[in-house]
Amino acid sequence: MIKSRERPPAARLLWGARRAAGLSQRALAQRSKVAQPTIAAIESGRQDPRFETLLALVEACGQELAALPRPGDGVDRSLIREQLRLTPEQRLHAAGENAQALQRFLGAARR
């Protein structure tokens, strides 16, 4: 048997959605009109579902699928690397300078 963390993402997603809804595989099959053996095969990782099938199953669990950006994607890591090259003292000094610049900016914006 495949361990939980080794299962494909679709298997983990469906299992979690079904469990959160408090449904058995049989109850989910009745709600979704997807055969219970198919649900079992998806959850065990033996079968990779079509998108439409996974969508119907998740929605039958009272949840929805959403595309979300991955944390960290699109982040300019060069700025992070630049800051990490500084010593802690240099970072504190730069933070103080940035705070002073922000205060000057806010003061000018109020005028």
Enter the pTM of the model.
0.60
- Tell me the pLDDT tens digit for each residue of 40-92: 999 999 999 999 999 999 999 999 998 888 887 777 888 889 999 999 999 99
**Do residues 12 and 4 make contact, with C-beta atoms less than 8 angstroms apart?**
yes
Interatomic CA distance for residues 66 and 50, integer angstroms? 16
Beta-carbon count within 10 A of 70 CB: 6
Pairwise CA distance, residues 103 & 109, whole Å: 10
Percentage of the chain lying above the pLDDT 70 cut: 95
Domain boundaries, the chain: 4-60, 77-110
pLDDT of 2-45, one tens digit each?
Answer: 555 688 999 999 999 999 999 999 999 999 999 999 999 999 99
What is the predicted pLDDT for the residue at 3? 54
The answer regarding whether domain 4-60 maps to CATH 1.10.260.40 reads yes
> How far is the C-alpha of 62 from the C-alpha of 66, rounded, in Å?
13
